[in-house]
A and B are shown apart, each in its own frame.
Chain A
Amino acid sequence: DGGITQSPKYLFRKEGQNVTLSCEQNLNHDAMYWYRQDPGQGLRLIYSSQIVNDFQKGDIAEGYSASREKKESFPLTVTSAQKNPTAFYLCASSLITGEETQYFGPGTRLLVL
């Protein structure tokens, strides 16, 4: 089955700890994205990547880092500098020519201990 997988489903972070969220896609999509969802707010873009080894900061990149070493993978690290990390994190992917709809994964809920 083609799709986007995110792991883990739930993640717990201790004070001062960096944690990494995984996102993998087998849709052969060029572009990948990370969004953050908070109650009462629209999804907000953290990072995007149109091509391997290149990525761009989104609206709320502070306290996060990303990498794109493979076309199918776009991990996101939530660093200790992110003071309010509790949220639902969503990964998406799309083509960059033709039909450019973004398709989303199932999400990772990050909680702070």
Chain B
Amino acid sequence: EDQVTQSPEALRLQEGESSSLNCSYTVSGLRGLFWYRQDPGKGPEFLFTLYSAGEEKEKERLKATLTKKESFLHITAPKPEDSATYLCAVQDHGGNEKLTFGTGTRLTIIP
């Protein structure tokens, strides 16, 4: 059974203070690892898909990286509008399209 663990559960940073969020996963055969951003009371917003170890993707202040056991979401010089819950999910090669989600990291950026 696929498993995803995200850490920390919550993170408070000063504006401009860079940090990383962790997503550790166990999957029989990784088809894709997905990062989403979710604001309170709204649906998840897609950020990145990573497919193989060593892959990296960037978008504005965010950079996602992938190894065989974990993924990191690096946030550089964050702004208050980056405050949200960040979700990680994996999809395996098992034949169905199900995403297995972690419980998320709630990020707060203090002005």
Binding site for B on A (CB under 8 A): 4, 6, 31, 33, 35, 40-45, 48, 50, 56, 58-59, 90, 94, 96, 99-107, 109
Contacts and interface: CB of A to CB of B under 8 A. Distances in A.
Contacts, number: 60
Interface residues of B, number: 23
B42 A106 contact: yes
A102 B103 contact: no
A42 B103 contact: yes
B85 to A, nearest CB: 10
Nearest to A41: B103
Interface stretch (B56-64, B67-75, B76-84, B93-101): B93-101
A55 to B, nearest CB: 12
Interface in B21-73: 32, 34, 36, 41-46, 49
A26 B49 CA distance: 22
Interface of B: 4, 32, 34, 36, 41-46, 49, 87, 89, 91, 96-104
The listed residue with most A CB atoms (<10 A of its CB), out of B4, B36, B43, B89, is B43
Nearest to A96: B97
A39 B87 CA distance: 13
Contacts of B32: 100-101
Contact of A56 (B46, B96, B104): B96
